[in-house]
Structure 1
């Protein structure tokens, strides 16, 4: 197996860390990133670089550090992201903009930074970590779903644009996995006088419960390795429990209002 130089954004915890540890254990050279290295003074799992995905200057600096050491970048895994929940009407717009800056603009900034090098190499793979939630509009998670759905669509376009350069683009959409995403997620506050307070509060409890009882993110890491070892990756991959993957299939085949009814029943709304 040929060693790959892999860059993973958001590699200090959660799914990103799990991917980094697993790829390194399989012989690859892994560079993870964190927006604040000072929070991880004892991080020894793999190389960790400081990188802010909303800052093109920070991105160029991190990419150049890797090129100075390795002379190549074989795989970019755009994993860094932020969660956001709340009634759309009551979610501050600066938080909506922030979510799009990190979850959508961030992967685009990273792709733009590594594509010139990948063209020179005549090879490269970009894996954008999206979400099963990006395939549907979910109550009180509409902004998060929108950011991840947008990455799915732009990945489809970019994949076609770079195919002649030997570069592959794909997405991996995880369902719920046991990570610390809830701790860093922006929650629009549940206001007692809000007309959404009861329904939002109930839904938020269900969302957090799903994460707390979710599967090990090593499953995502194993799927990523499978993709790296695939000559011609598919456009999209899904990783999650059977019910979560079934929800996407049902959305494709059911009339919109029937599917909407299923979602409402699931959340007891």
Structure 2
């Protein structure tokens, strides 16, 4: 029988690419969006779900189980970008980012675990970010939210092992998607002491996304993980230097690594 897959944030970007790829491989895919009516032409069903609204999560999970009788794979892909000097980002925006990137996946995981435990099988893939392995200037909140999800995955894996439920995370680098358009950008304030370095860094970040890898690379990686009997805790997908930056952080003294980052961002 074909595996049944739920992808949060499956209407665009990486989520859409993963969904289309898995559908072509014969898996039964359900994506989600806060505005599913916009995606009637999608190659797989898009259901209504907001990761910040637990009621919509439980309703969508129930719909899938009622339709298919099971739920094999959940991909926590829905996320939000955020940039700005931490001092100048409104606290509400910081909380909002964590609600989407960290608490959202927790809500989804809690909603699907009872069914997976009943099946005595299941796989949960949390989409994090290479940025979650390091505190990046003017992306500190994003780095923190994704880094928190990485650590949560490590703990969860050990807690659900007895139920034959697997969990892993996939950390993408920069991919050519529309994520920059949906980011919260703290405004460039004329009287801000961060105006020039933040402005320069923002331009650099947008260039990285525009020149990013093809999101099909993520789709291929996810398909391979789904077909791996015992997935690792962490996977990184992206350009060599982006993945190598994690290795450098592990082996270099903190101040040396910090200087490399500052040079990269021209700070």
Matching residue of 1:75: 73
SS at match of 2:230: coil
Matching residue of 2:127: 129
Q: How many angstroms does 1:43 deviate by?
A: 2.5
Matching residue of 1:190: 188
1:81-139 superposed Cα distances (whole Å, 9 cap, x missing partner): 00000000000010000000000000000000000000000000000000000000000
CA contact (8 A) 2:11 2:42 kept: no
How far apart, in 2, do the equivalents of 1:151 and 1:12 lie?
A: 22
Matching residue of 1:25: 24
Q: Which runs of 5+ in 1 are unaligned?
A: none
1:65-95 superposed Cα distances (whole Å, 9 cap, x missing partner): 0011001100000000000000000000100
How far apart, in 2, do the equivalents of 1:252 and 1:152 lie?
A: 16
SS at match of 2:125: strand
Matching residue of 2:8: 9
1:184-222 superposed Cα distances (whole Å, 9 cap, x missing partner): 000000001100000000000000000001110000000
SS at match of 1:20: helix
Tell me which of 50, 54, 72 is aligned to 1:56.
54
1:11-55 superposed Cα distances (whole Å, 9 cap, x missing partner): 000000000000000000000000112332x33310110001011
Correspondences of 1:40-189 after superposition (within 5 Å):
40=39, 42-189=40-187
1:224-252 superposed Cα distances (whole Å, 9 cap, x missing partner): 00000000000000001011001000000
How far apart, in 2, do the equivalents of 1:103 and 1:110 lie?
A: 11
Matching residue of 2:38: 39
Q: How many angstroms does 1:266 deviate by?
A: 0.3
Matching residue of 1:210: 208
Q: Which runs of 5+ in 2 are unaligned?
A: none
Matching residue of 2:252: 254
How far apart, in 1, do the equivalents of 2:36 and 2:51 lie?
A: 14
How far apart, in 2, do the equivalents of 1:186 and 1:100 lie?
A: 13
Q: Name segments (4+ residues, structure 1) moved above 3 Å.
A: none
Q: TM-score, normalising length from structure 2?
A: 0.99
How far apart, in 2, do the equivalents of 1:54 and 1:159 lie?
A: 23
1:245-268 superposed Cα distances (whole Å, 9 cap, x missing partner): 010000000000000000000001
Tell me which of 222, 225, 228 is aligned to 1:227.
225
Q: How many angstroms does 1:150 deviate by?
A: 0.3
SS at match of 1:170: strand
